[in-house]
Structures are given as C-alpha cells and as structure tokens.
Structure 1
Amino acid sequence: MRRFSAEYLEHTRQGMWADDRAALADLELASRRRVVDVGCGTGELTRVLAAEARPDATVIGVDADTDLLAVAREETGLPYVAGDATRLPLPDGAVDLAVCQALLINLPEPVAAVRELARVSADLVAAIEPDNGDVTVTSTVDAEERLEREAREAYLEGVGTDVALGDRVREAFAAAGVEDLRTRRYVHEKRTAAPYAEPALASAARKASGGGLADHREELVAATSVDAYDDLRRRWREMGREVVEAIGAGEYERVERVPFDVTVGRVETGD
C-alpha cells in the first residue's frame, strides 16, 4: 500500500466536504449507529461522518500509519485505531456502515479491501474514490496547465495502482458480493485567487522549489527516465517562479477540479 505524509493529505483534501455533502446521501448517515472510516489518514472524513451521523453514533477511524493517526487524535476526540485495510481489527458485522475515501486507488488488490469492509459491516459499504485521469486544472500561468497535464499523464502510467478507479469501484463491489449499488459524483474544487491565504503561498513556494513534483519522483521516473524527470522538474520550477511572481502582482488564479465517485452498496445477508 502506498503511504502519504500528513502534509500531503492536508493539501489534497483541504476543503473537501466543507460546503456540499449531497453526494454522501446514499450513506444514510443520519440513521447510522456504528461507523468505521477505513484508511482514515488524518481523519478528515472521519470528522464529517461523525458530524452527519446520529448524535449517539460511534464513529471510529482505522489506518495502518500510526503517524497519521497521531495527527488525527490531536485534531479530534474521536477514537482511532491502528489496522490494515485487508485485516481490520473488528469482528464480523461490527458496524452498520464501513466506508473509505481515496483508499482503494492505493491498493494493489482493491477487491480484498472491499471484502473486508463487507465483512465488518452488517448493512452498508461505501467507497469515495477519485478519478485522477479526469482531473482538470486551469491557471492564469499558461505553463502550469501544460506541465500539470504532462506530469499527471506520466504519474498515471508509472504509479502501479489504479488511481483513476472512479466509478469502476462498482466492479470491485460486485466481485466482493456487495449489491444494490448506487453511485454519485462529487467534484472537489480547489480555487486559488487574491487575496491569497497561507496555503496558496506555501503551494507556490513548493512549486518554485520543485518539492511538489518530488513527492512523485518514483512514479514519474518509472514512466519516463531520470533525465526526463530532471528536465520536467527544471521546467516545473521555472513555472513555480512564474506563479510566485503572479501572486506578488495579485494576478494569479488557479482552479483544480478532482472528481470523486461515491459508491454505496448493501452487504448480502444470505436471506
């Protein structure tokens, strides 16, 4: 399973579900009594689930990375436990909703994780997975759109797991025996414009240093070569300096749209 830093998760999930939670309707959160968020990371989704579930509900987060769990515990009083997504530390039917967000795309065998979600749930299973092949970026810095697209295409080729899973989660659900499938699409929009908040300034600085691209060096080199990666990073840093200059002039705007497909199904009871 691929691992991420707390800073990376904060950057990619910042503002997600802040305003629009309509795509979570099929999770029937208002009636949930026991919920587990698998692969919870720093707990962003766990907190949303707890806010939307019934007041007396038990909502817990599970993740294999104890460093991320430490951050999650600092942010909230919710219970978090260490555990692997394919060997959850829960008995059969322990919850009435088992959910994950951006987990299956990072697993070599997503069906195995869905089977485990179905094992611990007595009712609903849900997966909120992005389609990274359908991400769009618009920017007032022309080079940013071009380089983002080039880097994304190489990343998709070199990553080694299906990070463009999207609504094909339905196939994994069906293979795991989860039925009554429903899917809704949620587009996570990240917009940058003046006046610039601290996260925007930090992101621009990372572009100028090549740091953001370096997070995915392994995947980019796998798809291309060391020389091609070095050339891309050089051009990326030049673009980053353009972004910093545009911010200084108050002229920079950027919009990134990441589509997520929310797939929900019911565990077969055998009746």
Structure 2
Amino acid sequence: MREFSEDYLRRTRSGMWDDSREALEPLALGSRDRILDVGCGTGELSRVLAAECPGEVIGCDADRDLLAIARDHVPVVAGDALELPFPDDAFDLVVCQALLINLPDPAAAVAEFARVSTDLVAAIEPDNGAVAVDSSVDAEESLERRARRAYLDGVDTDVTLGADAKTAFTDAGLDVCETRRYDHDRTIEPPYDEHALTVARRKASGAGLADDRETMLDGELTGPEYDDLRSAWREMGRDVIDQMTDRDYRRTETVPFYVTVGRVPDA
C-alpha cells in the first residue's frame, strides 16, 4: 500500500466537504451511535463525521505518525484495514476515504469492514483518471493529462476506482444501496500562499515529475518520452511563475469522488 505524508493528506483534502455534504446523506450520520473511519490519516474525514454524528467516531490507521494528528479530532486506534483490531459488530457504520484505491484487493477490505459493522459500510473513492484541470497557462491542462495518464499506467492498484467501488461491495457480499458523486475543487488564485508558490517552483524545476519517474516508467512510457515530457513540464512551470509574478495565474483542479454505500446482509 502506498504511504502518504501529513502535508499531502492535508493539501489534497483541504476544504473537502466544507462546501456541501449532500453526498454523505445516505450515511445517515445523524442517527449513528458508533462510526469507524478506516485509513483515517490525519483525520480530515473524521472531523466531518464527528461534526455530523451524535455518537462516537473512532479513527483507525496503520501510520502512527498520522494518528498523532488525527487524535486532535477523534479517538484513534492503530490497525490494518485488512485485519481491524475490533470485534464483530462493533460499529453501525464503517467508512473509508481514498483508501480502496491504494489496496490490491479492495473487496477483502470491504469484507473486513462488514465484519465489524452491524449496518452500513461506505467508501468515498476518487476517479483519478477523470480529474479535470482548468488553467490560465495554456499548456498546463494537456501536460497534466499526459503526466496523469503515464502515472496511472504505472500504478499497480486501481486509482480510478471511483464509481466502480460498488464491484468491491458486491464481491464482498454487501447489498449496494446507493452511489453519489461529489466533486472536490482545489483552486489556486491570487493572493498565492506559500504552498502554491512551492508547487510552481517544483513545476519549473521538474521536481514534481521526478518524484513520479519510477512509477511512470513502470508503465508504457519510455525514457526518452519521459525526458520530453519533463522538459515541456519545466517550460510550463516557468510560464506559471511568470503569470504568478503578474498575479494572473489561476488554476482549478476538480477531482470526482464517489460515495458508495452498502448494507451488511441481514442487518
């Protein structure tokens, strides 16, 4: 399973659910007694669940460093998603966010979630293949698309799972109740914060692509094709910095998430 830093989790989940929680309605959070957030990371979703649930919310993650941050929001327990440290029927809702896309066998995880749930299991998973980028730099959208396609081709789990998470639910023996879509927008515009400036500098240096080079080359992308992409990427990054200097740069990235809800049989 891939590991993620505190900064990555905070950055990619910043503002998520602040604009609308309509897609979470099938979880009936207001009626829950005990919720488990599996793979909670820094507790970004746990915080939202705790705000909506009158009962108890517990976060669970294998990374103890991330749990040290998540415990600011909810009680936490260290544990593996495929072998949860809880007895059968310990919760009435088990939920995860952007976890199944990083597991080689999502159905096995869903089955383990069902073991500890008396009622519902929910997965909030992105379709990373359908990310949309709107940028004031003409070349950014097409280069992002090329880089994303090459990266996804080299990843060994299904990071485009999204709406197809329901297959993992049925494979695990759950009855799928509903799937709803939620679009998470991340926007960069003036005034630019330090993170936005750092991202721009990493584009201009090619450092961002360098981090993903090994994964990209695990797919069909060749070495020379990677070098050409990185060269164009660095040029695009310089255009981003130029526009930032004039306070003209704007970028919106939209990541589609799908909330899939399943009921434990005989619940």
TM-score range (shorter-chain normalised) is over 0.9
Using the alignment, how far apart are the partners of 1:65 and 1:168 within structure 2?
A: 27
1:155 aligns with 2:151: yes
Corresponding residue for 1:236? Answer: 233
Is structure 2 residue 130 aligned with structure 1 residue 127? no
Query: Between the two proteins, what is the percent identity of the paired residues?
Result: 61
Determine the structure 2 residue equivalent to 1:94. Answer: 90
Q: Partner residue of 1:264?
A: 261
Cross-structure match for 1:247: 244
Q: Deviations over 1:75-129 (max 9, x none)?
A: x142112111100111111011100000001111000000011011111100000
String of CA shifts for 1:115-164, please: whole Å, max 9, x gaps. 01101111110000001111110111112111100001111111111111
Q: How does 1:165-180 map to 2 (within 5 A)?
A: 165-180=161-176
Q: Which amino acid aligns with 1:173?
A: F
Q: How many residues align?
A: 266
Q: Any conservation in 1 of the 2:46–2:73 contact (CA below 8 Å)? A: no
Letter in 2 for 1:242: D
SS of 2:218's partner is: helix
1:111 aligns with 2:107: yes
d(CA) in 2 for partners of 1:116, 1:134: 28
- Specify every segment of 5 or more residues in structure 1 that has no aligned partner in the other structure, as ranges: none
Structure 1 length as normaliser, TM-score?
0.93
| Distance in 2 of aligned mates of 1:67 and 1:209 | 30
- C-alpha distance in 2 between matches for 1:219 and 1:202: 22
Q: Name which of structure 1's ranges 237-246 and 108-117 shifts more when overlaid on structure 2.
A: 237-246
Q: Secondary structure at the match of 1:20?
A: coil
CA distance in 2, matches of 1:78, 1:49: 10
Which residue pairs with 1:44 in the alignment? 44
The 8 Å contact of residues 221 and 228 in structure 1, kept in 2 or not, is answered as no
Equivalent of residue 201 in structure 2, options 198, 202, 205: 205
- Which is worse superposed, 227-236 or 113-122? 227-236
Partner of 1:27: 27
2:67 matched residue in structure 1 = 69
Instruction: Give 1:180 shift.
Output: 4.3
> Once the 2 structures are TM-superposed, how far is the Cα of residue 245 of structure 1 from its aligned partner?
1.3
Gaps of 5+ in 2: none
Q: 1:50 to 1:23 in 2, by over 3 A?
A: same
Q: Deviations over 1:198-244 (max 9, x none)?
A: 33223222222323323322211112234433332232222112111
**Residue 215 (structure 1) aligned to one of 184, 193, 211:** 211
Q: What SS does the corresponding residue of 1:89 show, helix, strand or coil? A: coil
Report the Cα distance in structure 2 between the residues aligned to 1:22 and 1:150, rounded to whole angstroms: 33
Change (3 A) 1:18 1:97: same
User: Which residue identity does 2:51 align to in structure 1?
Assistant: A
Which amino acid letter does the alignment assign opposite residue 117 of structure 2?
S
Report if the CA contact (8 A) 1:193-1:253 is conserved.
yes
- Root mean square deviation, CA, Å: 1.5
CA distance in 1, matches of 2:98, 2:206: 25
Check whether the contact 1:46–1:61 (CA below 8 A) recurs between aligned residues.
yes
Aligned to 2:58: 60
What's the TM-score, normalizing by structure 2?
0.95
Check the 8 A contact 1:129/1:166 in 2, yes or no: yes
- 2:81 is paired with a residue of what secondary structure? coil
For 1:38 and 1:216, locate their aligned partners in 2 and report how far apart those are by CA, in whole Å: 26
Aligned residue type for 1:155 = Y
Q: Write the distance in 1 (CA, Å) between the matches of 2:181 and 2:73.
A: 30
Residue in 2 that maps onto 1:17? 17
